[in-house]
């Protein structure tokens, strides 16, 4: 077993001991990453988050390196303070 394979195995075991699991990330199979790539490609720097809830969509975009402005549009039945 090579050093790289051994190191990878030890890292995965260490993460599992603290309740985490690591997986390879493939942007081509990730819908949020595909969306962010399209936003970059077309120079879109403003996203309207219609029906914003607890920030899940914003979190996904930010995790995929979107740095543009995001404007959440909240449902009328709840105030923004309750959602964030």
- The answer to whether the beta carbons of residues 73 and 49 sit under 8 Å apart is yes
Where in the chain are the domains?
3-83
| pLDDT band per the 50, 70, 90 thresholds, residue 62 | very high
Task: Give the separation between CA 14 and CA 64, rounded to whole angstroms.
Answer: 25
Taking residues 44-59, what's their average pLDDT? 87
Residue 78 above 80 pLDDT? no
CA distances from 65 to 2, 21, 59 (A): 33, 22, 10
| pLDDT band per the 50, 70, 90 thresholds, residue 40 | very high
DSSP label at residue 70? E
């Amino acid at each position: 077993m090579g050093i790289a394979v051994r190191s990878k195995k030890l890292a995965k075991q260490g993460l599992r001991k603290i309740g985490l699991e690591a997986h390879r990330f493939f942007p081509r199979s990730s819908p949020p990453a595909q969306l962010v790539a399209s936003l970059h490609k077309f120079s879109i720097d403003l996203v309207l988050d219609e029906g914003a809830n607890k920030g899940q969509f914003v979190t996904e975009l930010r995790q995929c390196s979107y740095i543009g402005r995001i404007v959440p549009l909240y449902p009328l039945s709840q105030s923004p303070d309750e959602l964030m």
